[in-house]
A and B are shown apart, each in its own frame.
Chain A
Amino acid sequence: MNPDTARIHDQGYRPFKGKLGSVRTRFWPIAVNELRLSFRNKWFKRLLWASFFPLGVFSVLVLLRHVMESMLGPSQVWQNFWRTQLLFAVVAAYFTGRRAVGEDLRSGALTLYFSRAVDFRQYLLGKWLAVALSMGGVLLGPGLLLLVFSAAMDPDLPLSVALSWGAILIALSLLFALSAGWVVLAISSLAGRGRAAGIVWVVVYFASSAAAVALSSALNTPDLVSLGIGDGSMRLANELFSQHADLATCMLSLAGQVAWAILGALVVLLRLARWRRL
């Protein structure tokens, strides 16, 4: 066939004429899809319910504190509450993050995403958002309820204090979702199987704390404990919920959390770039 003389005749093809959403929001269906797949797991649903149980315990503590003024300070309630909820967040990340990228790599589903008008940014944002929403659900949901309960039990609680606690909760949740979310996605992208990725994630979470403790002992610098994924968040919570936050400790914890997030994101990006080159 001579390409100079050949012609393709229009035979009536008409594209879809309905309204299409912006390409900038394509991360949202990716996140929804990931969450939908996670909700297929009954243990994930049970975890979400279970994450509200500590709310009952801490509500009693709030009540007791109100009755017995000197028993437990409000900052200690919040610090312990955060410490407890972090464990639920780790398990939530296990369920939503372990298969997020790795399964797509293994099954070839990445071709379905990237043959459409979806780029790496949209894809990764969607995957991270799914993990972040699941972690946010177990951190923020019970946290905000506890805040409302605390405010209801203590009519003398200034509004500014209640709002600041709410803001701290949101900031801590977002920060932990950033660091833990990207780390679990990185592990997912490297691991051969979803379950293995989940186990490695839990190991990395606790090992990072152990390594940070060992490092701080070796260098005789107690603040380096903040470099662990969980410890960093807990120390930041301790500082922010206390009356007198130490700025240096806060900054070090913040830096640790951001560093974990950047490291995780870089690993996922490199893994995807390698897939695309292959």
Chain B
Amino acid sequence: MSSRPLIQARGLTRWFGPVIALNDVQLSIQAPIVGLLGPNGAGKSTFIKLLVGLLKPSLGNLALLGQKPWANRDLAARLGYCPERHRFWEDMTARQFVQILLRLHGFDSSSACSTADSALERVHLGQVGRRRIKTLSHGMRQRLKLAQALAHQPEIIVLDEPLTGLDPIQRSMVISLLKEEAQRGVFVIVSSHVLHELEAMTRHIVMLNRGRVVAEGELEQIRALIDSHPHRIALVAAKARELGQQLLGQQHVTRIEVDKDRVVVETRNADECYDRIAELALGGDFHIEQMYSLDDNLEAVFKYLVEG
């Protein structure tokens, strides 16, 4: 058991000339899988490069499992990094690619061969190990990068947009693989600008926009913090119109939309609204068949935080 935060940032700032890529980031995260979410240019890749020690903070401090990543060989040996770009050493075979990177971790020649093979098998690339990288599809290259990040059994895996370019089957495979790693006790830090990708992997997210952290924590907790925005609840009921009328009388309800058998309620007090709906459901007058929140998904939360 460890009490050290996985990521701890204090006033973390990084600029490139006149451009501020990350601005005064304050974070303390402990979670098996952390999702970094933000639109392009939000500062995700910069944050990831700071985490893996490729960049030095301009200001502030950053610690990964209690250690500063910059120029830290011990920590680098415990990291597996999957960069966003994927056009390296195209004349090399997939197997050689993983092997050489294992050699850079200190594996000897024979163990690098066997470990590379098993890493390729894990990402379902065992059949293409002898093919040159330039002949591999985009999705295969993505999985190859993942293989090199996993191969040396790192303690922390940091992935920059690992699902870009994957078809749904490959995406599902990669998500399962990362979840599997997390269940083994490996920390996974993954970035994406696609909301549902992260949602499928983790509920613990860090949202970045224009170099700043706009929210951090469990998705539901973040949603609960957004008091200024009404919560939207959808109900499916046989007597939808009557149900809508009943709810409209509540003080916390700001808006009702009725469409055939579906009612969408906007409320400023979700708990009170849920209690009232429960009462109405128990009464049995409206035949409520389904109830679900329209705001607990990442997209809605992100929209609230970024667009206001």
Contacts and interface: CB of A to CB of B under 8 A. Distances in A.
Contacts of B228: none
B82 to A, nearest CB: 9
B275 to A, nearest CB: 26
Contacts of B31: 1, 8
Interface residues of A, number: 42
Interface in A83-118: 104, 107-109, 111-118
Contact of B184 (A8, A12, A115, A278): A12
Interface in A3-41: 3, 6-16, 18-23, 26, 29-30, 32-33, 36-37, 40
A37 B88 CA distance: 12
Given A18-B107, A29-B100, A33-B100, A116 B155 contact: no
A120 to B, nearest CB: 10
Contact of B3 (A7, A13, A29, A119): A7
B300 interface: no
Interface stretch (B47-55, B193-201, B242-250, B257-265): B47-55
B88 A112 contact: yes
Interface stretch (B73-81, B167-175, B280-288, B290-298): B73-81
A187 to B, nearest CB: 21
Nearest to A120: B71
A116 B185 contact: no
Interface residues of B, number: 55
B87 A108 contact: yes
Interface string A167-209: 0000000000000000000000000000000000000000000
Contacts of B153: 14-16
Contacts of A46: none
7 contacts: A7-B30, A10-B2, A18-B107, A20-B106, A21-B106, A112-B83, A276-B55
Interface of B: 1-3, 5-6, 16, 28-32, 49, 52-56, 71, 73-74, 76-79, 81, 83, 85, 87-89, 91-92, 96, 100-101, 103-108, 111, 148, 152-153, 155, 183-187, 204, 217-218, 221
